[in-house]
Amino acid sequence: MVKILAIETSCDETSIAVVENGEKILSNIVLSQVKSHERFGGVVPEVASRHHIERINEVLALAMQDANLTYEEVDAIAVTAGPGLVGALLIGVQAGKSLAFALQKPLIAVNHMAGHIYANQLVEPLEFPLMSLVVSGGHTELVYMKDHLHFEIIGETRDDAVGEAYDKVGRVLGLNYPAGKEMDQLAHQGEDTYQFPRAMMEENHYDFSFSGLKSSVINTLHNQEQRGESVIKENVAASFQAAVVEVLVTKTMRALKEYPVKQLIIAGGVAANRGLREGLTEALEQLDDAPRLLMPPLSLCGDNAAMIGAVAYLQWQAQDFAASNVNAYPGWEIDQPRPS
Ligand code: KG4
Ligand code: ZN
């Protein structure tokens, strides 16, 4: 039994987990800073770093206590090394290095987006080949995997990430940051009355674009306000969500035709979206030879350290350990080797 202590501090959650064999969560403490960033309408990097420093020891103690383990029983330390906010990442990397050094355990540097994908492994073993729709605050990608730790980006957003579009439209509607969850709830109370644009639907590639949709929603709202018309937030949210889900589902289904896979998995904060989960489930029901759909529970869609521990187990098996000079890599793409 391999027990990995994993650390995640890439953005605004301070999280530490202990995961056994990459699949069983022994503990997973997630401390959200969202209240501190809310009034700024987004994550303030300096504030995030400071919170990580202030709280990381406490989160570590809780994670060890919950797992009911001693440090000697831990086999390796894993840490998110990128992508993310450089200052936030550095706190986790430094904590990981210090623990690995003090305990004389190997250190494993993990990619945050790989973590989102491997959150699914905490639910069910991954089977290859698979397709992953990765949708978070900073990324929107279709990632094809022919095996463990092989990531091929077959399509990605050319401008805004889906989560980013949700947050910006939500902000214009007067919602708190991050607005995705509330938009999702509003969407289920409204109707698609606006018919917002769906970008690049006919084009023969798997890239996405969400900035046109975002601008269209914002312009429509401004025009309505100028005309003194009242805005029904539920219908705006429903119309926006309908456009987003239609694009994501259509492109994903098209990708499945070219890349037959055993599993379709969704990953990242926006994977919690009810409309997306329902849309993909319904679309797969129409296919004769549909792959199995894996969706992490809502608690594992957002940032958490258990998902980092899940990837780290595969790196442990591959003996992919980091040297003590490992750094934070804010722009580390999932399909690239770890920068050095
Ligand atoms: O993966 P994540 O926790 O952080 C990043 O790595 O970016 O994703 C956060 C994003 C935010 O933009 C948030 O608004 C969005 O996920 N989100 C949602 C929902 N829950 C969170 N977006 C749409 N529907 C949701 N239910
Ligand atoms: Zn994330």
Q: Where are the domains of the chain?
A: 3-117+300-317, 127-295
Residue 245 has pLDDT above 90, yes or no: yes
Residue 287 has pLDDT above 90, yes or no: yes
Residue 248 has pLDDT above 90, yes or no: yes
Q: Does domain 3-117+300-317 have CATH number 3.30.420.40?
A: yes
Ligand in closest contact with the CA of 185: 1
pTM of the predicted protein model: 0.97
What is the distance in A from the centroid of ligand 2 to the CA of 186?
23
User: Which atom of ligand 1 is least distant from the CA of 162?
Assistant: 12
Residue 321 has pLDDT above 90, yes or no: yes
Question: In the prediction, which pLDDT does 204 show?
Answer: 85
Mean pLDDT throughout 135-157? 97
Residue 37 has pLDDT above 90, yes or no: no
Percent of the chain with pLDDT over 90: 93
Q: C-alpha distances in angstroms, 267 versus 122, 197, 277, 296, 300?
A: 12, 25, 11, 7, 9
Question: In the prediction, which pLDDT does 38 show?
Answer: 84
167 lines ligand 1 (CB under 6 A): yes
Question: In the prediction, which pLDDT does 112 show?
Answer: 98
178 lines ligand 1 (CB under 6 A): yes
User: Which atom of ligand 1 is least distant from the CA of 179?
Assistant: 14
CATH number at 127-295: 3.30.420.40
Residue 301 has pLDDT above 90, yes or no: yes
Residue 44 has pLDDT above 90, yes or no: no
Percent of the chain with pLDDT over 70: 100
Same fold, 3-117+300-317 and 127-295: yes
Of 30, 181, 189, best ligand 1 pocket probe by most atoms within 8 Å of the beta carbon: 181
Residue 156 phi, psi (nearest 5): -155, 170
Residue, of 133 and 46, whose pLDDT is higher? 133
Indicate the pLDDT class of residue 60, thresholds 50, 70 and 90.
very high
Q: Whose CA is nearest to atom 22 of ligand 1?
A: 180
HSE value, Cβ hemisphere, 13 Å, CA-based, for 102? 9
What stretches of the chain adopt beta strand conformation (E)?
3-8, 13-20, 24-32, 76-82, 107-111, 130-135, 140-145, 152-156, 263-267, 292-294
Question: In the prediction, which pLDDT does 17 show?
Answer: 98
Q: Could you count the other beta carbons within 10 Å of the beta carbon of residue 158?
A: 14
User: Which atom of ligand 1 is least distant from the CA of 164?
Assistant: 12
Residue 176 has pLDDT above 90, yes or no: yes
Residue 121 has pLDDT above 90, yes or no: yes
140 lines ligand 1 (CB under 6 A): no
What is the distance in A from the centroid of ligand 1 to the CA of 188?
17
Residues 263 and 126: beta-carbon distance below 8 Å: yes
Joined tokens for residue 93 = 């990397």
What is the distance in A from the centroid of ligand 1 to the CA of 301?
8
Indicate the pLDDT class of residue 36, thresholds 50, 70 and 90.
confident
Lowest mean pLDDT among 31-40, 283-292, 304-313: 31-40
Give the mean pLDDT of the chain. 96
Question: In the prediction, which pLDDT does 43 show?
Answer: 87
115 lines ligand 1 (CB under 6 A): no
Residue 42 has pLDDT above 90, yes or no: no
What is the distance in A from the centroid of ligand 1 to the CA of 299?
12
Residue 66 has pLDDT above 90, yes or no: yes
In 3D space, the residue among 264, 45, 247, 37 whose CA is nearest the CA of residue 161 turns out to be: 247
Ligand in closest contact with the CA of 136: 1
CB neighbours of 97 closer than 8 A, spacing ≥ 6? Answer: 79, 107, 324, 326
